[in-house]
Amino acid sequence: MSTLKATQFKSSIGSNQAQRDTLRSLGLRRIGHTVEVQDTPQQRGALHAVRHLVRVEEA
């Protein structure tokens, strides 16, 4: 299964609690932090919910 690299590039300050929870569930903790997540529909949905805070690329 392929993976996606997600990098947080914008602060979560000012976003709602659900978006902060989504970032935390993805494993993102701070600006510049990069994680690799499995390419599943659930993970793609989570990344879509915070697409204004993260950059995603194929790993």
- 3-state secondary structure string across the chain: CCEEEEEECCCCCCCCHHHHHHHHHHCCCCCCCEEEEECCHHHHHHHHHCCCCEEEEEC
Q: What is the pLDDT of residue 1?
A: 77
Read off the pLDDT of residues 25-56 as tens digits, 9 standing for 90 and up.
999 999 999 999 999 999 999 999 999 999 99
pLDDT at 6: 98
Q: What is the mean pLDDT of residues 4-28?
A: 97
Range 3-58 has CATH code 3.30.1390.20? yes
